[in-house]
Amino acid sequence: MIERTLVLIKKDGLERGLVGKITTRFEDAGFKIVGSKMVQVDEEFAKKHYTEDLAKRRGEHVRKYLTEFIKSGPVIVYVLEGVHAIENVRKMVGETEPRAARPGTIRGDFAHVSYAHCDNKKQVVKNLIHASADKKDAEYEVKLWFKPEELCSYKRVDEVHTL
């Protein structure tokens, strides 16, 4: 099943110079980048991305931290396409809490903070990256961040040269 999913490399990923390493992981796994841009997010857009549903699930304070953080610097936005892209990209990204993320995942290899630490400091969990959680979120987020004409189709070399 070929799917599309949204990925954001957040401000902390840019500041640490990890964009290339993160992008390479997705390309090495066979995902296609079908949309890409750098965006500076405003308050209104941040609240569209981090919806009220998030506040219900995780608390309004979490939504506030996330919206403030996403507005604080540019983000790199990708739409990735591939086989079971939503599930497989989430596996590659790792658990939302970096402390719980397994080695070999993006968060597990490049971040280490915990919810408790960040709650104590009253700050957002800097976990480098966002990936759509499920099919519903992926459809909503791709449409939110990209106009249809901003997404491209092409064949990767591994699609052209198959056995």
**92-131 pLDDT per residue, tens:** 999 988 899 999 999 999 998 887 888 888 888 899 999 9
Q: Which of 61, 84, 112, 130 is catalytic?
A: 130
pLDDT of residue 125: 82
Total of domains in the chain: 1
| 162 occurs within a structural domain | no
> Could you tell me if residue 160 is inside a domain?
no
- Domain assignment present for 51: yes
158 belongs to a structural domain: no
Distance, in Å, from the CA atom of 78 to the CA atom of 32, rounded to the nearest integer, reads: 10
Q: Is 49 a catalytic residue?
A: no
Q: At what angle do helices 19-28 and 85-93 cross, to 10 degrees?
A: 140
Write the DSSP assignment of the chain as a string of letters.
-EEEEEEEE-HHHHHTT-HHHHHHHHHHTT-EEEEEEEE---HHHHHHHS-HHHHHHH-HHHHHHHHHHHHSS-EEEEEEEEETHHHHHHHHH--SSGGGSPTTSHHHHH----HHHHHHHT-----SEEE--SHHHHHHHHHHH--GGG------HHHHS--
pLDDT digits 0-9 by tens, 23-63:
999 999 999 999 999 999 999 999 999 988 876 777 788 88
- Domain contains 104: yes
Domain with 101 in it: what CATH number?
3.30.70.141
pTM: 0.91
Residue 157 lies in a domain: no
Residue 70 covered by a domain? yes
Q: Residue 132's domain spans which residues?
A: 2-150
Does 163 fall in a domain? no
More confident residue, 122 or 22: 22
